[in-house]
Amino acid sequence: MRTIEARKAIAEQLPWVTKLKEPQRCICYRAGAPLRIYFPEGSRIRVTEADYKYWRCKQPAWWRFRSLKKSWPKDGTYCWRHLVERAIYGDDAEYNRAEKWMEKKGIE
């Protein structure tokens, strides 16, 4: 079992993940956000800028992530939790890419 510090050290080594010098805003939304936030064009309720601001993740984003074109996560800045849950391990293509890279570098 790896500690969080060990996991962060591995994430810093990934070629498509960059640790930022200063935090930015995480591009994800908090858990429990209504679907109208993700798909405003399909909602009967008008989504305002205040709705987006309310549901936006409040954690500082220290990580810039570059995704594959065929994967679900987007390029952008992520907090640690969203980097792990949504970007690296949230999509099969991204998960396979990370696992292949770790296997190639001999990281278990």
Amino acid of residue 50: A
Please, is 45 exposed, middle or buried when counting C-beta atoms within 10 Å of its C-beta (0-12, 13-18, 19+)? exposed
- Please enumerate in sequence order all residues whose Cβ is within 8 A of that of 25, keeping only pairs 6 or more positions apart, or say none: 56, 57, 60, 61, 77
Interval 37-84: pLDDT, tens: 888 888 788 888 898 899 999 999 999 999 999 888 889 999 999 999
Query: Any idea where the domains of the chain sit in the sequence?
Result: 4-28+60-105
pLDDT over 70 (residue 1): no
Interval 7-21: pLDDT, tens: 899 999 999 999 999
What pairs with residue 56 in β-bridges? 29
What pLDDT is attached to residue 44? 84
Q: Please state the pTM of the whole predicted model.
A: 0.84
CB 57 within 8 A of CB 86: no
pLDDT over 90 (residue 2): no
Q: How far separated are the first and last CA of the chain, in Å rounded?
A: 10
